[in-house]
Amino acid sequence: MASWLGRKESGEKGTKGGEEEKKVVLDGTEIRELVENKEAFTTFVDHKFQELDVNHDGKLSVKELQPAVADIGVALGLPAQGTSPDSDHIYSEVLNEFTHGKQEQVSKSEFREVLSDILLGMAAGLKRDPIVILRMDGEDVKEFVESPKFEPEALSIFSQMESANESLRKCLTVGLQQLTVEHGMPPASDSWVISNIVEPALQSLSTDLLEQPASQDTFFEEFKKLLNNIIQRLQEHPVIVAHNENTFDGSGIKRLLSNKFELDKLLDSVWRDLPKDQHQKTPKDYLRVALDRMASSADLPPYGAVDQVDAVVNEAFKMVNADDGKIVDEAEFKKTLTEILGSVMLQLEGNPISISSNSVVHEPLESSSTLLPPPSLQTSQNEGD
């Protein structure tokens, strides 16, 4: 994911006395700068095009575009291609953006144009909801374990499980899951973290003790031991976590609906790209595709990316009978689409949806790109400004 996103240093944390950076904020600034810098973007497009054009015929086939599409999906936070029908339709949407729905070859100028649109959309999304890259090196966990907060928090975790008479192993596992990135703990539900950090740390404790019901004292002692073991592991192999918080509260839709000029322009461009019959009509089935094309302008996630928002969208479709499969003309289509947006807005205003996600970044941040420029790292900041 990070390969798509420029990195920017943040001085908010971990900068005591010139220590190594622990927190990097991805807010889309560098993506925007890249696209807006004509010369740099040309070089970038040339380079990427050449890389993707495997048979060097100066055009990109659908097959040659696949790596680009896969990268974009990952950058949007979607599950990998082929794992979910919901997100797969977004992948085919992205591909359609490039091929304009035709199975044709894509020229460099088309590639450039679409890539620029997609990158700017992503930059806008990151500006709204920056991704924070955290480096977990055990220091924050250590600080927590040594702080006066540790005892009361540990005891409160234990008291939640006491009555269930659970084994020490279970209590410790649940205890770990209650520690967040705020405590400096990488997500304990992540399978990589479980097999590389949590399990080995648990194995360092006494096996006999682990399977017995825990007393408060044992829990407290063993929890501390476990965390100290984890601290040591993190010190040796820091874990990089991408932390992202999104709130969908309908404000983006409200902004869009209140700007008639922007809204009409967007509706026109969405309508223009849809397939129509000889009477210039189209089935309502395309409303989902159309809504997805408007998603980034309305501060919505792509359909299939956030379950709670999908539920709201589905409800809106039901309310305006958008799923009846009828064939409609331009005016009717745009009217229904606008009603859907209005309904989604009202629902989100009433019950905003907040998503916080923490994912472990496995590959080195700076080398995984197939499409984005190598992000300018601490050592290679743009000279000039």
Which residues sit at the interface with Ca ion, rule CB under 5 A? Answer: 53, 55, 57
Q: How far is the CB of 57 from Ca ion (least distance, A)?
A: 4
Helix axes 260-273, 251-258, angle to 10 degrees: 100
Q: Give the Cα separation of 371 and 322 in Å (integer).
A: 37
Tokens of 186: 């990488």
The two tokens of residue 347 are: 């629902």
Could you tell me the CA-to-CA distances from 190 to 15, 41, 300, 380 in Å, in that order? 28, 36, 26, 32
- Given a contact cutoff of 8 angstroms between Cβ atoms, the answer to whether 247 and 206 are in contact is no
**By the 8 A CB rule, do 119 and 34 touch?**
yes
Considering the complex, state which of residue 64 and residue 292 has its C-beta at the smaller distance from Ca ion: 64
As measured in angstroms, the least distance from the Cβ of 98 to Ca ion is 13
Closest to Ca ion by CB, 47 vs 318, is 47
In whole angstroms, the minimum distance from the beta carbon of 60 to Ca ion comes to: 6
Q: How far is the CB of 371 from Ca ion (least distance, A)?
A: 16
Using the minimum distance from each CB to Ca ion, give the nearer residue, 102 or 279: 102
Between 27 and 53, CB nearer to Ca ion: 53
Are the C-beta atoms of residues 9 and 378 closer than 8 Å to each other?
yes
What's the min distance (Å) between Cβ of 47 and Ca ion?
Answer: 15
Toward Ca ion, which CB reaches closer, 57 or 323?
57
- Which of 57/307 has CB closer to Ca ion? 57
- Gap between the Cα atoms of 259 and 254, Å rounded: 9
CB of 118 to Ca ion, least distance (A): 20
Q: Closest distance between Ca ion and the C-beta of residue 65, in Å?
A: 9
Minimum CB separation of residue 52 from Ca ion in Å reads 8
Give whichever of 57 and 182 is closer to Ca ion, judged by the CB atom. Answer: 57
Distance CA(272)–CA(284), nearest Å, equals: 15
Long-range pairs, 332-340, Cβ under 8 A, ≥24: 333/271, 333/282, 333/284, 333/286, 333/287, 333/290, 334/267, 334/271, 336/284, 336/287, 337/267, 337/270, 337/287, 337/290, 337/291, 337/294, 338/257, 338/263, 338/267, 340/287, 340/291, 340/313, 340/316
* Pick 55 or 321: Cβ nearer Ca ion: 55
Alpha helices in the chain (DSSP H): 29-36, 38-52, 62-75, 85-99, 108-128, 139-146, 150-161, 168-177, 191-193, 199-203, 207-211, 216-236, 251-258, 260-273, 287-294, 307-319, 330-350
Nearer to Ca ion, 179 or 371 (CB): 371
Minimum CB–partner distance for residue 53 and Ca ion (Å): 4
